[in-house]
Amino acid sequence: MSRPVDQAKNAEKFLADTVHEQRLDKLLWAMRQRRDAAARLVPEWEELRTLASAIKEHTLSNLSDYLLEFEAKATANGVVVHWARDAHEHNQIVYDLLAKQGTDLLVKSKSMLTEECELRPFLERRGIRVTETDLGERIQQLDDQPPGHIVGPAIHKTTHDVAVLFSEKYGSDPKNEDVPYLAGVMRENTRPDFLHATAGMTGANFVVAETGAIVVATNEGNADLSANTPPLHICSVGIEKIIPTTESLAVFIRLLARSATGDTITQYTSTFRGPRKGAAMHVILVDNGRSERLGMKRFWHSLKCIRCAACMNTCPVYRRSGGLSYGSTYMGPIGIIMMPAVEIRKYSELPFASTLNGSCTNVCPVKIDIHEQIYGWREVMEENGQIQVVKKEAMRVADEVLSHPTLYHIATTTLSTALEVLPHFAIYNRLNVWGKHRDIPEAKTETFHQWYRTHRPNGNEVDRS
């Protein structure tokens, strides 16, 4: 049985290095502000969020039909559809396809699912070289680290870190920290792999049942290159990524980049419906615990996630601790409600890496009740005896706070009142750890109280069903 990941302890190391900690905090908060500015420019923003949430709930509640519809349409388009129950089955399917192709070099674009399945080491152990082609993901690969952020995998690294790493791996100038220079080094070193690889791999942001298409959003164009240049394109995707129609895709595309970086759209938003002439396209539909999560009454909504990372950018704990401290594939608020469903003991402490300030829920483009799920997971940990005595006390305090909206209102409305309340507020959420380094989370544009009034207008009790 694996030992629980101690996120707070891991974060202490990151916090001790103030250069990285302060930089990451500033960078991610700027992203959150760009997200806010982008959202304000869209008058129907809140309506889009409501629609996105409803479309996802509709699709997930009819998932078996949509999966079959996708399979039928994709097959008719000439795509070979595979089904994988778990990570191992997925990895084996990929390997078998590559072996059949005689591939010794795979170019792949960023896919959190392949991280989740630990595909890269699986293939490398079998003699297949894998080149990550997303700049951030490649940096992490070269540094032998997992991604620290689901949109910007190397966002915790400084230009100095990257310059030193590239000089070690590529022989570039370690003193040149100019970002265009560094991006150029990566481009020069990756281009030959695109041209020589005999297989390419992508993930998918969305899978469209109606057309049998997969949709991939990138800024670099590396997914288009990975899928279009070699004669074999393999796409791995979780079964929860399905949406009904191209019409519904529009809603998500309008929300995704704005929520992630504040841009209106990613540079490349690409739809792959079938293989080109003379080439092959395979889609692997992966379960790996998703169908089980669909049956969790309190937690299935987390399957609505479109991986924009807005919840991470806004989270005071994530911003101050860095993604690697979570010791898990998915990190930040969305990670701490997804990972315990994967392995309860290992990730039993993650739900405590939160201030429960509700900011994650406020920014989520598909309206996942993230902070309520965090609280729900804390309860599960208690019920399952996964919780230490100190945290039991913390739960009691959290319970009191959540059942008294007035107190919560005081705790979250303004920066100045938060200052007064936080020492108590902090006891249950491990801000005692954070408090050593930082006092208060930033003031939010929408507070939990405002959210609470919208969602729980008829009473003070939080529905925990």
Please give the size of the binding site for other proteins, defined by CB under 8 A.
Answer: 93
Contact map string, positions 111 to 150, toward other proteins, x by CB under 8 A: ----------------------xxxx--x-----------
**In the complex, what is the shortest distance from the CB of residue 219 to other proteins, in angstroms, rounded to a whole number?**
5
Token pair, residue 28, equals 């991610």
Name the residue nearer to other proteins (CB basis): 193 or 349.
Answer: 193
Name the residue nearer to other proteins (CB basis): 229 or 432.
Answer: 229
Give yes or no for a contact between 205 and 217, defined as CB atoms under 8 angstroms apart: yes
264-283: contacts with other proteins (CB under 8 A):
264-276
Q: Is 390 in the site for other proteins (CB under 8 A)?
A: no
- Give the single-character DSSP code of 44: T
- Of 4, 152, 340, 441, the one binding other proteins (CB under 8 A) is 152
400-439: contacts with other proteins (CB under 8 A):
none
**In the complex, what is the shortest distance from the CB of residue 209 to other proteins, in angstroms, rounded to a whole number?**
11
446 φ, ψ (degrees, to nearest 5)? -120, 135
Name the residue nearer to other proteins (CB basis): 269 or 417.
Answer: 269
Alpha carbons 20 and 437: distance in angstroms, whole number: 13
Give the type of residue at 276.
R
Name the residue nearer to other proteins (CB basis): 91 or 211.
Answer: 211
188 burial (CB, 10 Å; 0-12 / 13-18 / 19+) is exposed
Contact map string, positions 202 to 221, toward other proteins, x by CB under 8 A: --------xx-x-----xxx
Alpha carbons 364 and 49: distance in angstroms, whole number: 8
- Of 6, 12, 89, 343, the one binding other proteins (CB under 8 A) is 89
Name the residue nearer to other proteins (CB basis): 131 or 321.
Answer: 131
Name the residue nearer to other proteins (CB basis): 211 or 355.
Answer: 211
- Of 49, 108, 120, 157, the one binding other proteins (CB under 8 A) is 157
- Burial letters 378-403, b for 16+ CB under 10 A, else e: bbbbeeeebbeeebeebbeebeebbe
Alpha carbons 139 and 179: distance in angstroms, whole number: 13
357-386: contacts with other proteins (CB under 8 A):
none
Give yes or no for a contact between 353 and 322, defined as CB atoms under 8 angstroms apart: no
Alpha carbons 138 and 147: distance in angstroms, whole number: 10
Alpha carbons 360 and 313: distance in angstroms, whole number: 9
163-182: contacts with other proteins (CB under 8 A):
179-180, 182
Q: Is 337 in the site for other proteins (CB under 8 A)?
A: no
Residue 187: other Cβ atoms inside 10 A: 11
